[in-house]
Amino acid sequence: MRKQQLDHWLQASKKEECEPPKVFVVSCADLSHYSLAVEYKHRLEPIMDKDQLAYFNSLESVKDELKKLGLSSAYLRLHNAYDEFGAEGLDLFQDIELHLAS
């Protein structure tokens, strides 16, 4: 999904007073790079900016971008690369709610 499409979706959800899309900040537990994704039809769709995956170098820069889009919360989805050989049936990620309001 393009970043511009997400922006339009967020603006429409405000006008129609419906629930905004669920936005995720995705990273691996040992990396300092973050990307954005939105939940669409129970799947995560990455947010693209100019035909490339939108990357951020810090969590603060991601929060600033999400605030610009008008979001008050999002979810940090942390993948743990070291759990890939863990017990069957366990999630390989953890979702943590991020509150963006100042």
pLDDT digits (tens, 9 = 90+) for 22-77: 999 998 877 778 999 999 888 999 999 888 888 899 989 999 989 988 888 999 98
CATH of span 3-81+93-99: 3.30.160
Neighbours of 23 (CB within 10 A): 23
Phi, psi of 25 (to 5 degrees): -100, 120
Structural Rg of the chain based on CA atoms? 14
Model pTM score: 0.79
CB 17 within 8 A of CB 25: no
Alpha helices (H) in 28-95, listed in sequence order: 59-68
How far apart, in Å, are the Cα atoms of 65 and each of 9, 23, 50, 72? 16, 12, 16, 11
